[in-house]
Amino acid sequence: MSTDCPILVWMLSLNREYSQEEYDACHKVVDECVHHLKIPYDPPNADSFRQIMTQMLPLLMMRHRRIPRAKWRDCLTPNGKHWIEQSPDDMPPDKFLHSMIGYHLTFETSLCGMAMTQGVQRKVINIGLGLKQIAVEPRGVSVQTFVESMGHKLTPTERQLIAPELGDEVVMRRLCILLALKQAYIHAIGQPPGFDWARLEFDVPGEKARGDGHPLQGWEFRIFKASLGVARRDMLVEEHYQCVCAFFRGTKDSTFIWHESAKDLESWVQFINIDQMVKTASLVLLCPPIYVLPSPVYSFASSSIRPESWLRSSPKASLCPHEYALCRYMYRLNA
């Protein structure tokens, strides 16, 4: 994998139901910190909560990088592609040019995702994430009925790859890979919701992609799977998702990179859950800039900076009471 514009993906598992208080706290964070978007207040709406949690991911990412909210702004291309521009204060011009962060957000059922990369603005914006739960819709229909309902998004060649005689499990996996590939590419180029998915064709066995009959050159497609344990009332339900990150690298050919194990993912995909987001991120983002915990899941395990040593070096007198209490609270969470 290329070291130019390294890719990082954060996956947020909505692994349980949320409370009114959690919705209120997270909605307030987004309302105050996400200036380009206003999410209507609608606590009973699960999609509203999914959108809120997804929009918190860039805030959490920038906080993790120890960059105060006042020191960066969210920018948008004419076709809706987001990138983050940091304040050029005290930053050499060349470093500033390479400090742009392109990102894409999406969610599907119990999984919220963010794909990001850093570099020159024109290079980082063409990134997209595709998520497809490996399950039929609506629940209870046969696999073949579901496949037929998705037929308008596929080409004749792609439909041959999901022939019924292959069996339901193989058909569902292949279909979800195709849909996630198309979704990731469509998101990466900033196409609107009405885009005709059948204009794209992915020859997965041959690792080739075409758009309107022409080869798609220069793209990198990272294909992986996520499995979640989700609490639904008094039951623990296992959910599986097919995931694809698409990024334009400008190489001669497009590449397909398959990640089959957790070890393959650990260097570039981070998983967090709803508890970590609600208990730490919402509190951190609602108070003035303070020390930021050094990993996406807020653990000191991989850091050379220990929480107790930082607290000793930042005496209580230098912090407001709320800041100091919050630091102690987060220390206890990670103890």
**Full DSSP string of 136-203:** -SSTTS-HHHHHHHTGGGS-HHHHHTT-GGG-HHHHHHHHHHHHHHHHHHHHHHT--TT--GGGEEEE
Please check whether residue 2 lies inside any domain of the structure.
no
- pLDDT for residue 326: 42
Residue in 121, 153, 133, 115 with CA at minimum distance from that of residue 247: 115
Residues 274 and 304 in one domain: no
Q: Higher model confidence: residue 265 or residue 328?
A: 265
Residues 232 and 126 in one domain: yes
Amino acid at position 263, single letter: K
Q: What are the angstrom distances between the C-alpha of 207 and each of 170, 192, 201, 219?
A: 18, 26, 11, 11
- pLDDT for residue 299: 31
Give pLDDT tens digits for 6-16: 999 999 999 99
Please check whether residue 236 lies inside any domain of the structure.
yes
Residues 267 and 229 in one domain: yes
Mean pLDDT of all residues in 39-44: 97
Share of the chain above pLDDT 90, in %: 71
Question: Does the pLDDT value for residue 285 go beyond 70?
Answer: no
Residues 327 and 207 in one domain: no
Residues 306 and 236 in one domain: no
The chain-wide mean pLDDT, for the chain, equals 85
Mean pLDDT of all residues in 255-284: 85
Residues 229 and 143 in one domain: yes
CATH at residue 14: 3.90.470.20
Tokens 């964070």 identify what position? 29
- pLDDT for residue 27: 93
Whether 220 and 247 have beta carbons less than 8 Å apart is answered as: yes
Please check whether residue 59 lies inside any domain of the structure.
yes
Classify strands 269-273 and 7-13 as parallel, antiparallel or unpaired: parallel
Amino acid at position 260, single letter: E
Please check whether residue 158 lies inside any domain of the structure.
yes
Please confirm whether the linkage preceding 296 is cis (ω < 30° from 0).
no
Please check whether residue 144 lies inside any domain of the structure.
yes
Residues 14 and 93 in one domain: yes
Question: Does the pLDDT value for residue 297 go beyond 80?
Answer: no
Question: Does the pLDDT value for residue 276 go beyond 60?
Answer: yes
Strand partners, 273: 13
Which range marks the domain in which residue 246 is found?
A: 7-286
- pLDDT for residue 198: 97
Give pLDDT tens digits for 110-133: 999 999 999 999 999 999 999 999
Residues 72 and 13 in one domain: yes
Residues 38 and 181 in one domain: yes
Residues 144 and 224 in one domain: yes
Residues 183 and 317 in one domain: no
Number of domains in the chain: 2
- pTM summary value: 0.83
Domain boundary among the residues 286, 301, 316 is at 286
Residues 99 and 189 in one domain: yes
Residue in 2, 50, 73, 13 with CA at minimum distance from that of residue 268: 2
Q: Higher model confidence: residue 284 or residue 235?
A: 235
Question: Does the pLDDT value for residue 45 go beyond 70?
Answer: yes
